[in-house]
C-alpha cells in the first residue's frame, strides 16, 4: 500500500492569521479576484500554503 503525501489546507482563520489581515479582507480579495486562489470544499474555502506563497512571491517588490 502506498502513502500519499499529505498537504495541510488552511482555513480562512489560518490564512488571515498568516497574512495578518482580517477575514473580511480575504473575502473582499476573493470577490475582486485579488487574493490567493482558494479551493472550494463543500461550502467551505481552503487554501494550499504553497499557492499562498506563490501569490506572495508575485507581489514581492524589488528594493528601490
Domain locations in the chain as residue ranges? 12-58
Rg (the chain; Cα; Å):
14
pLDDT, residue 26, reads: 97
User: Percent of the chain, pLDDT > 90?
Assistant: 80
SS3 45: strand
Average pLDDT over residues 19-43: 96
Average pLDDT, the chain: 91
Q: Which of the four pLDDT bands, split at 50, 70 and 90, describes residue 15?
A: very high
Nearest to 26 by CA among 54, 6, 55: 55
Q: Which of the four pLDDT bands, split at 50, 70 and 90, describes residue 60?
A: confident
Amino acid at each position: 500500500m502506498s502513502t500519499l503525501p499529505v498537504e495541510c489546507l488552511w482555513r480562512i482563520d489560518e490564512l488571515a492569521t498568516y497574512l495578518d489581515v482580517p477575514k473580511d479582507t480575504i473575502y473582499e480579495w476573493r470577490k475582486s479576484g485579488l487574493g490567493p486562489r482558494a479551493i472550494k470544499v463543500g461550502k467551505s474555502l481552503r487554501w494550499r500554503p504553497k499557492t499562498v506563497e506563490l501569490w506572495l512571491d508575485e507581489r514581492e517588490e524589488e528594493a528601490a
